Amino acid sequence: MTSELLAVFEYYEKEKGISRDKMIEALSSAILTASRKSIGPARELRIDIDPIKGGIKAKAKLMVVETVTAPFDELALATARKIKKTAEIGDEIEVDVTPKDMGRIAAQTARQAMMQRIRQEEKLLIYEEFKDRAGEIVNGTVRRFEKSDVIMDLGKFEGIMPKKERVATEDYNIGDRIRVYVVAVENGVRVPEIILSRSHPNFVKRLFESEVSEIADRTVEIRAIAREAGYRTKIAVWSADNKVDPVGACVGMRGARVKNIVRELNNEKVDIIKWSDNPKEFLKDALKPATIADDKIIVDPVNKRIFAKVREDELSKAIGRHGQNVRLTNRLMGWDVQVERDESAHEKFVGRVHSAASELAGHLGIEVELAEALVTTGMNSIEVIATLDASDIVDVLGIPAEEAAAIVAKAQAQVHPSSVQ
């Protein structure tokens, strides 16, 4: 067991950073428990381990008596004087009680108990080293997968990137070297868990801090961030220095700074917005590329609600794909943002269509409903219709070819009256 013990000492010292003294303490306690099964309940039993050679001895203090009645606690005077010539009845003498063979079960028990104590020491070591690193970005290597969780090699320790902290659009392979954000160091029941993430909003925040010197020196401040990992991030920045453009500082010369961050995020879209304490201004920037007029925004500061009416042609931009743009704006502002179609603009549009259709219907002698169908597809004047084939009219209105030909003929007759016989 000596060579095994030394090998364990060397491995944990080099690979895990656990001191030999700590391991000896753990092993002594473990073997003490195991030895009692082989030696018996001796009084004041202790384990002596040589830290250099790895030798193990069990020693116990026994009471010197004339006649032994309790062999685990007592030592005959004659035997005691072989160890110590001046021994007298009533003295306590420490004797070597190491069994020749502690036994397979005892040795296994000792190993198990020792490994348990070593795991406790390793747990404490991990916790002490990483407890202050929560919130930092570290480099790691993908070591293995446990179901949907990614186990990362961080050097001396392992971290776990749970499924919820992964980016849905990213694939990881064993051996990949990646950067991850330390979410927390949790002092778990068995071992401390270093929780890692690539989907956390603060991962993007830390990337900006490392890439943009103005953020690092606090000339520019990140006021808010909202993220749907793998797809889009909105980040609001601000500077107390009026001479500094916070958005420009984050973008960098020819976009170099933000490009580096986007590359790290595997081409996730990043919107950099100038933060404002004016909700209207903040909303207009946050909902870009949609354009919204000031008079179409209503602010309810008491309930932190903001309503924006958007033109029909800007509505899809404001809402974004699957509602993403407005959803991220909600999180970024911390307000309940409501975006809806500007009915007044829509009504004006409908009115213009109806007016054009009525005029066209009068020229061609057709129903207004048919004329509206033509107008909404771009056939909004007799000049345009005069250039069409009857088949184009059939495709839009679904009427017989003869009727379509008659409509085209009427338009041509009004546009080119001299050519009509």
Expressed in percent and rounded to 5, the helix, strand and coil fractions of the chain are: 45, 25, 30
Tell me whether the CATH fold assigned to 132-198 matches the one assigned to 350-419.
no
Whole-number pLDDT of residue 209: 95
Element spanning 236, H or E: strand 232-239
Task: Determine if the pTM surpasses 0.75.
Answer: no
Burial status of residue 151 (CB atoms within 10 A of its CB: 0-12, 13-18, 19 or more): middle
Closest CA to 124 of 267, 30, 269, 19: 19
- Say if residue 331's pLDDT is above 90: yes
- Say if residue 1's pLDDT is above 70: no
As a three-state string, the secondary structure of 267-295 is CCEEEEEECCCCHHHHHHHHCCCCCCCHH
Give 69-113 pLDDT, tens digit per residue.
877 778 888 888 888 888 888 888 887 776 665 445 445 655 665
The phi, psi pair for 85, rounded to 5°, reads: -60, -30
Most confident of 67-71, 205-209, 336-340: 205-209
CB 326, CB 287: distance < 8 Å: yes
Give 279-289 pLDDT, tens digit per residue.
999 999 999 99
HSE at residue 2, side-chain half, CA atoms within 13 A, is: 10
Under the banding of pLDDT at 50, 70 and 90, the label for residue 139 is very high
- Say if residue 43's pLDDT is above 70: no
CB 404, CB 411: distance < 8 Å: no
- Say if residue 185's pLDDT is above 80: yes
Bridge partners for 158 per DSSP: 153
Whole-number pLDDT of residue 178: 95
How far CA 164 is from CA of 191, 198, 206, 224, 332, in Å, comes to 21, 10, 19, 22, 21
Whole-number pLDDT of residue 274: 95
Element spanning 94, H or E: strand 92-96
CA distance 380 to 88: 125
- Say if residue 32's pLDDT is above 80: no
CB 183, CB 177: distance < 8 Å: no
Q: Where are the domains of the chain?
A: 2-127, 132-198, 200-271, 276-341, 350-419
CB 2, CB 53: distance < 8 Å: yes
- Average pLDDT, integer, range 264-284: 94
- Average pLDDT, integer, range 320-330: 92
Q: Which residue did the predictor score with more confidence, 7 or 140?
A: 140
Whole-number pLDDT of residue 84: 83
- Say if residue 36's pLDDT is above 80: no
Q: Which residue did the predictor score with more confidence, 209 or 157?
A: 209
Whole-number pLDDT of residue 106: 44
CA distance 388 to 385: 5
CB 99, CB 23: distance < 8 Å: no
Superfamily of 132-198 according to CATH = Nucleic acid-binding proteins (2.40.50.140)
Q: What is the CATH number of domain 350-419?
A: 1.10.150
CA distance 172 to 162: 13
**Please, what's the b/e burial string for 5-24 (b: 16 or more CB within 10 A of its CB; e: otherwise)?**
bbebbeebeeebebeeebbb
Whole-number pLDDT of residue 172: 94
Hey, which CATH number is domain 276-341, 3.40.640.10, 3.40.1710.10, 3.40.50.300, 3.30.300.20? 3.30.300.20
Q: How does the average pLDDT of the chain come out, rounded? A: 83
SS3 181: strand
Q: Which residue did the predictor score with more confidence, 77 or 329?
A: 329
How far CA 63 is from CA of 42, 86, 95, 220, in Å, comes to 11, 14, 11, 77
Whole-number pLDDT of residue 113: 59
Q: Which residue did the predictor score with more confidence, 106 or 348?
A: 348
End-to-end CA distance of the chain: 118
Q: Which residue did the predictor score with more confidence, 339 or 157?
A: 339
* Residue 147 φ/ψ region, left for φ over 0, alpha for ψ in the -120 to 50 degree band, beta for the rest: left
Give 350-399 pLDDT, tens digit per residue.
778 888 888 888 888 888 888 888 888 777 788 888 888 888 888 888 88
Closest CA to 73 of 89, 52, 48, 92: 92
- Does the domain made of 200-271 have the CATH classification 3.30.300.20? yes
- Residues whose CB is less than 8 angstroms from the CB of residue 399 and which lie 6 or more positions away in sequence, other chains included: 370, 393
Tokens for 358? 């009525």
- Say if residue 412's pLDDT is above 90: no
Q: Which residue did the predictor score with more confidence, 107 or 22?
A: 22
- Say if residue 117's pLDDT is above 70: no
Superfamily of 2-127 according to CATH = NusA, N-terminal domain (3.30.1480.10)
**Looking at this protein, which amino acid is placed at residue 362?**
G
Q: Roughly what angle, to the nearest 10 degrees, separates helices 20-39 and 104-130? A: 150
Q: Which residue did the predictor score with more confidence, 193 or 27?
A: 193
Closest CA to 321 of 231, 234, 236: 231
- Residues whose CB is less than 8 angstroms from the CB of residue 155 and which lie 6 or more positions away in sequence, other chains included: none
- Average pLDDT, integer, range 303-327: 90
